[in-house]
Amino acid sequence: MRRLLVLALAALLCIGIAVIANYSKQQPASNAVEAPATAAAPLPRQPTAFGINLSTVAYWSKQRAFMNLAVGGIWQSINAGWAEFDHDRIDGNGTVLSLKPGENVAMALIRPPRSYLGDIAIRCRFDGKGVIDGIGMVSPVASPGRLDFIWRHDIETAQFRLNATDPADPIRNIDCREADADPKLLFDSAFVETLTPYKAVRFMDWQQANGNVAGTWSQRTSPGATIQSSGQGVAMEHMVTLANQAKTDPWFVMPWNADATYTENFARYVHDHLDPSLTVYVEVGNEIWNMDFPAGKQARAEGIRDKLSANPDEARMRRYAVKAVAGFKIWSRVYADRPKQLVRILSGQNAWPDLLRYAVDYKDTAANVDALSTAVYFGQQLLETPPADTRDAGPLFPPLMASIDATFASARTFKQMADSHGLRYVAYEGGQHVSWHGADPTLIGRINRDPRMGDAYRKFMTLWARDFGDTLMLFHSVSPPGSSMHFGLADYSGQPISETPKRKAVLDMIAATKGK
């Protein structure tokens, strides 16, 4: 999950692109939008609701979603200096099919939240034959089909190590969890509980949408796969199960290269297995407006190939419209029996209204869409001029608060655009986006853990509720702070809420909103 900063410096055909860092969403510009000659009546104001984007299923994300601690691992070759292991010798379920004599590979496990409080016993079960042990494990004991060890409270990463495997009966179906845990439980119940306050969960990172790899039904991740962090994303069945357990609406980001068969099968599974009281949100591709992502580049090439416009940006967004509408029509057929439970979303960049207008105004796009969407981030430019003294973060918060107003000033342009087409306006991502590239590696963490950041989130969500209503999807659930950015509402699963001012503010606002 990587993002880069894209800022529109002028309207029409002349734009400038400035790349700051991964995950970037630039501060909005104020471009007016003309309503079409046959403007539709605006929809009635929608109820305010808040959702959450889930962070990547990976050992380094520090989010424990699955009970199996191995689901977010990748096999790395120890002999090759911890390089990623040869993909040709790993099957779709994450099974290492063969090892050469003397070759060793290891897979990092997701850290269990209880290990922050004390030492805990972990039991790994598996099928097959081979030679195994562990790295970062205390007192590992291997036996046929099992590896037991202690995850000591001061150890950050433990790894399941494979020293030999039988090609005829390879080590597979690895499942590591607390020794006293239910071996049949799919999700960590504490994780499911954290999702229940939210109206919706967006699975963009679970589906690996930014990698632009998935799309072939036969290659999709199966629910039985050990590793759920591959380029094909988490198994569709698991996402539906999670939505049902948390009783929250799923927001799917369909792969750009998904063909009709993939889309049809995906939609039908969701229709047949999702709690029918839940609403399904659907996008096709993530941020096609963003040329830093492979799907954006592909859409532009396809739009130019199809001669959709002489303007490359218009050609790209028209191609987005064509691709999205084709996918939405399949979903609409599948959901013909309960169309109100389906929300089809077209997304654009909050700083560049013309891009989304290229798409929504193209042919019958608006008739096949239910909502327009942008990412409403604030604070992107806060540290563009480095403070002279970073020890005191206090002076940074007044301009941070002011940046919220600027973000929503641009968002109103998209609300007007949606109103003119009789569509909803929702935010697919949102929250603080403070970026830092200075010498002080502690600044980002300190800003995000400061109680005044909680105040900023309260203002942010209050203004959304007052001026827009409808659904705002916060970005994102859990991730550790970096030296340049920090998006997680919490640093790690199980972190005390007293240490997470952003998350506390969000939960307080959700409770207040639901109480109205």
Residue 239 region by backbone torsions, left for phi larger than 0, else alpha for psi between -120 and 50, else beta:
alpha
pLDDT tens digits for range 271-305: 999 999 999 999 999 999 999 999 999 999 999 99
Domain assignment present for 392? yes
Could you tell me which residues come within 8 angstroms of residue 311 by beta carbon, excluding any fewer than 6 positions away? 13
Handedness of CA 448, 187, 206, 231 (dihedral sign): positive
pLDDT-derived band at 38 (thresholds 50, 70, 90) equals: low
Tell me which H or E stretch contains 343.
strand 342-347
Cα–chain center distance at 167: 36
Tell me, yes or no, whether 67 lies in a domain.
Answer: no
Q: Are residues 138 and 219 both part of a single domain?
A: no
In a domain, 350, yes or no: yes
Prior bond of 271 cis (ω within 30°): no
Per the CB < 8 A criterion, the answer to whether 432 and 474 are in contact is no
DSSP assignment, residue 448? H
**Same structural domain for residues 436 and 368?**
yes
User: Of 153, 178, 203, which one is at a domain's C-terminal end?
Assistant: 178
The contacts of residue 489 (CB under 8 Å, 6+ apart) are 52, 431, 474, 476, 477, 478, 500, 502, 503, 506
Q: Is the dihedral of CA 150, 154, 160, 164 positive or negative?
A: negative
Same domain, 167 and 213: no
Find the CATH number of the domain harbouring 235: 3.20.20.80
166 and 259 belong to one structural domain: no
Token pair, residue 338, equals: 């309960």
Quick check: 203 pLDDT over 80? yes
pLDDT digits (tens, 9 = 90+) for 337-358: 999 999 999 999 999 999 999 9
Following DSSP, what letter does each residue of 355-370 receive, concatenated?
HHHHHHTSTTTGGG-S
161 and 310 assigned to the same domain? no
Provide mean pLDDT across the span 359-364. 98
d(CA 225, CA 173): 7
Among 156, 178, 200, the domain boundary falls at: 178
Residues ≥6 apart with Cβ < 8 Å to 254: 207, 263, 266, 282, 283, 284, 285, 327
How sure is the predictor about 110, in pLDDT bands with cuts at 50, 70 and 90? very high
pLDDT score at 18: 32
| Distance (Å, whole) CA 345 – CA 369 | 6
Cα separation, 298 vs 203, in Å, equals 22
* DSSP label at residue 92: T
In a domain, 1, yes or no: no
**Looking at the domain assignment, is residue 16 inside a domain?**
no
Q: pLDDT at position 13, please? A: 27
Which pLDDT does position 27 carry in this prediction?
39
Based on C-alpha coordinates, what's the Rg of the chain?
23
pLDDT for the residue 515: 61
Strands (E), 92-158: 105-108, 120-127, 130-135, 138-143, 146-151
Looking at residue 11, what is its pLDDT?
Answer: 33
Instruction: Please check whether residues 88 and 53 belong to one and the same domain.
Output: no
Which H/E stretch holds residue 116?
none
H/E run at residue 326: helix 312-334
pLDDT tens-place string over residues 459-505: 999 999 999 999 999 999 999 999 899 999 999 999 999 999 999 99
Name residues whose C-beta falls within 8 Å of residue 329's C-beta, 6 or more positions apart in sequence: 368
- Beta bridge partners of residue 125, listed in sequence order: 146, 175
Mean pLDDT of the chain: 92
Tens of pLDDT along 218-243?
999 999 999 998 889 999 999 999 99
Q: How confident is the model at residue 35 (pLDDT cuts 50, 70, 90)?
A: very low
What's the whole-number mean pLDDT along residues 85-92?
94
Q: Is the pLDDT of residue 155 over 70?
A: yes
Residue type at 219? Q
The rounded distance, in Å, linking the Cα atoms of 105 and 142 is 16
The number of residues in the chain equals: 516
Answer yes or no: is 37 within a domain: no
- From residue 352, alpha-carbon distances to 6, 9, 370, 413, 436 in Å are 10, 9, 20, 10, 24
**Of the residues 178, 201, 231, which one is the last residue of a structural domain?**
178
Most confident of 20-24, 144-148, 228-232: 144-148
Full residue range of the structural domain in which residue 147 is found: 75-178
221, 95: one domain: no
Which residue reads 């963003």 in tokens? 290
* 172 and 196 inside one domain: no
Distance (Å, rounded) from C-alpha 315 to C-alpha 298?
A: 11
The answer to whether the beta carbons of residues 408 and 467 sit under 8 Å apart is yes
The answer on 371 and 248 residing in a single domain is yes
Output DSSP code: residue 115: G
- For residue 79, the SS3 value is coil
Q: How many domains does the structure of the chain reveal?
A: 2
Residues 123 and 204 reside in one and the same domain: no
516 pLDDT tier (thresholds 50, 70, 90):
low
Query: Which three-class secondary structure state does DSSP give residue 467?
Result: helix
| 145 and 231 co-located in one domain | no
Angstrom CA distances, 221 to 73, 261, 394, stand at 14, 16, 47
Strand partners, 138: 150
User: Do 195 and 165 lie in a common domain?
Assistant: no
- How far apart CA 170 and CA 341 sit, in angstroms, is 44
Is residue 118 within 8 A of residue 92, CB to CB? The reply is: no
- Choice among 109-113, 117-121, 389-393 with the minimum mean pLDDT: 389-393
